[in-house]
Amino acid sequence: MPSLRERRFELQLQPTKSGDDWGFRLSETFHDTAEAVAKVDAARAPQFRRAVLEAVEASGYPTVAVSPRRCRPFNLTQGPGVRLALTVSASLPVARPLRRRAIVDGVGALSPEEALYWYARTSGPGSGRALRALRLLLADD
pLDDT in tens, 73-86: 999 999 999 999 99
Cα(107)–Cα(81) distance, rounded to whole angstroms? 12
Residue of 74, 29, 27, 40 lying closest to 55 (CA atoms): 74
Q: What is the mean pLDDT of the chain?
A: 91
pLDDT digits 0-9 by tens, 10-21: 999 999 999 889
The ranges assigned to domains in the chain are 8-138
- If you average pLDDT over residues 55-74, what whole number do you get? 94
pTM above 0.85, yes or no: yes
What pLDDT shows up at residue 141? 62
Q: Is the pLDDT of residue 71 over 80?
A: yes
What pLDDT shows up at residue 4? 56
